């Protein structure tokens, strides 16, 4: 159990929505040295587990399958990163009141249509609900709910709540659910404080250079 708890905390899921958390699997995107968090297929599975898209057993099944299908696994990882970048560009544009690229919208639409082929209506405790057939057996199964989340949000009336972190380098996306719509940072503890410290020192530096 302890091992799982550790694994659960690898990623910072502060975006407030599945597709935004997925877009945030790249650190310091606007920096000279952005940090890719999805380096391996194992990272993709770890993120999906933490985002509760996979059960422990499904994650294990995928990792076992991945070992036997190296080239397909690499293709899925490459595709996951492409999907993530399209999602990032779309919602960053929206957050900055710009129009997303047609190419990205077409890409997302195609992926949603593909994902939909795996959607099934299943009986639950109270009535029926949508579920995904093939979770834990298809290597790209985690991408289905991700693109679904992106298309759902993009066509919702909540879209004006999407924001880009105000830090110069971060570029993480999040939903601003604050009462006065004033949230500026993805995470106050990391980006908010870092940005405040940076401004403080740059003010200090410029006042020192004025004095001398
Ligand atoms: Zn940030």
Under the banding of pLDDT at 50, 70 and 90, the label for residue 199 is low
Centre of ligand 1 to C-alpha 79, Å, is: 25
Express each pLDDT in 87-130 by its tens digit.
999 999 999 999 999 999 999 999 999 999 999 999 999 999 99
List CB-based neighbours of ion ligand 1 within 5 Å.
165, 167, 170, 172, 186, 191
Whether 68 has a pLDDT exceeding 50, the answer reads: yes
Structure pTM?
0.87
Confidence of residue 188 (pLDDT cuts 50, 70, 90): confident
CA of 191 to the centre of ligand 1 (A): 5
Provide, rounded to the nearest whole percent, the portion of the chain with pLDDT above 90.
76
How far does residue 57's CA lie from ligand 1's centre (Å)? 33
Is the pLDDT higher at 77 or at 208? Answer: 77
DSSP state letters, the chain: -HHHHHHHTSS---SSSHHHHHHTSEESTTSSS-EES--SHHHHHHHHHHTTSS-HHHHHHHHHHHHH-HHHHHHHHHHHHHHHHHHHHHHHHHHTT-PPPHHHHHHHHHHHHHHHTTEEEEE-SSSEEEEETTTTTSTTTTHHHHHHHHHHHHTSTTGGGEEE-SSTTT--EEE---TTS----S-IIIIIHHHHHHHHHHHHHHHHHHH-
């Amino acid at each position: 159990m302890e091992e799982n708890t550790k694994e659960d905390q690898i990623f910072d899921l502060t975006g407030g929505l599945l597709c935004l958390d997925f877009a945030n699997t790249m650190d310091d995107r606007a920096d000279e040295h952005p940090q890719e968090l999805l380096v391996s297929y194992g990272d993709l599975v770890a993120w999906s587990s933490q985002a509760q898209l996979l059960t422990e057993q499904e994650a294990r099944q995928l990792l076992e399958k991945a070992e036997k299908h190296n080239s397909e696994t690499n293709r899925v990882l490459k595709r996951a990163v492409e999907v993530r970048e399209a999602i990032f560009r779309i919602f960053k544009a929206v957050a900055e009141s710009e129009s997303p690229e047609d190419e990205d919208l077409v890409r997302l639409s195609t992926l949603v249509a593909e994902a939909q082929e795996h959607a099934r209506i299943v009986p639950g405790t109270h009535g029926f609900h949508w579920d995904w057939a093939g979770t834990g057996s298809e290597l790209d199964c985690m991408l289905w709910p991700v693109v679904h989340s992106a298309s759902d949000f993009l066509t919702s009336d909540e879209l004006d709540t999407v924001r880009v972190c105000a830090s110069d380098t971060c570029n993480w996306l999040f939903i601003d659910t604050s009462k006065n719509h004033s949230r500026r940072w993805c995470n106050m503890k990391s980006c908010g404080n870092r940005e405040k410290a940076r401004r403080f020192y740059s003010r200090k530096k410029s006042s020192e250079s004025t004095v001398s």
